[in-house]
Amino acid sequence: MSKLVTIYGGSGFVGRYIARRMAKEGWRVRVAVRRPNEAMHVKPYGVPGQVEPVLCNIRDDASVAAAMQGADAVVNCVGVLNAHGKNSFEAVQVDGAARVARIAHDQDIGQLVHVSALGADAEGDSDYARTKAQGEEAVRSHFPNAVILRPSVIFGTEDEFFNRFAGMASLSPILPIAKGKTLFQPVYVDDVARAAVKGILGEAAPGTYELGGPEVKSFAALMRQMCDVILRRRVIVSLPGFAVWPLAFGFDMLQAISLQLIENKVLSRDQLKTLGTDNVVSEGARGFADLGITPERMGPILPSYLWKFRPSGQYDEMTASARNLKGDA
């Protein structure tokens, strides 16, 4: 019988790419999620029955253990960008990470890959950065041979970075951003998946890998590149933290007074703190080169999914070509 990998959060942005690649490797893939009925899009990644969503809550020992039963390898992709309800940073990124690693050790799982984030720092300003670091430490304490991946901001078809700001740019002549000088090293989602596969297959030495793409750019420069791709001339206004803080506070308070019924998906105070730190690979850190992977550049990939934000959408190139023909006539 083929080997089995359990991917916690396997229907999400990163997890689905890992699931697809593992199915191509011939493994059976168990996608552990809170709502299996909303994860049916993973089933076509393999032959019938090869990729299956299963019910799991990473906050519960019994469901984590059940989803892992019989697996040869485990991947944890679960994380939160904004604490909401019971899914606090501590519950998901510390306790959840520790739970997966502890049970993986107890079940004698062969390989564990933990997807963290670049900028994880036990002394960081933001709860996000601190809990990511605490989660990594918990993983190492329970499963010393784990492979821990720290990607920078991730881009790809389903991303919440370029898609969000491209949507904003398509509606307004002004694109406001916070802390535009902060540096990022965007990494393609499928490259992160390739790194995870190396860990699952035992082709990566245990330890931490910082994953960044071949380009380092400021937040503002990334927005200018994005606007070029979607063919929109926009005024990019980089606001200092103190100017954006009242907005973030307001959205946090709206989430609080609504008793968590309204989730802050715009900007939180904690995200504002996270934006205050450069998000680039540390000098001397292990990364893609140590995994034998050459990361993709943004240029060829961004147009493949941001075209929908262009003035004429998928017909923009056709429209431009027609204008050229009219001019030649």
Ranges of each domain in the chain = 4-154+186-212+280-293
Q: What is the CATH class of 4-154+186-212+280-293?
A: alpha beta
What is the per-residue pLDDT for 100? 98
pTM for this model (two decimals): 0.93
Closest CA to 190 of 10, 18, 8: 18
What is the per-residue pLDDT for 224? 98
Rounded percentage of the chain residues whose pLDDT exceeds 90: 85
Residues of the chain with pLDDT under 70: 315-329
What is the per-residue pLDDT for 267? 86
- Mean pLDDT for the chain overall: 94
Q: How many CA atoms lie within 13 A of 73 on its CB side?
A: 26
| Angle, CA 128 vertex, CA 126 and CA 129 arms, to 5° | 70
What is the per-residue pLDDT for 266? 83
Tokens 């933001």 correspond to what residue?
126
Give residue 136's Cα distance to chain centre.
16
Q: Which residues of 42-74 are buried (b: 16+ CB within 10 A; e: fewer)?
A: bbebbeeebbbbeebbbbeeebbbebbeebbbb
Residue 37 tokens read as 């009925």
| Helix ranges restricted to H, 107-161 | 127-142
What is the per-residue pLDDT for 65? 98
**In the chain, what is the greatest distance between 2 CA atoms, to the nearest angstrom?**
75
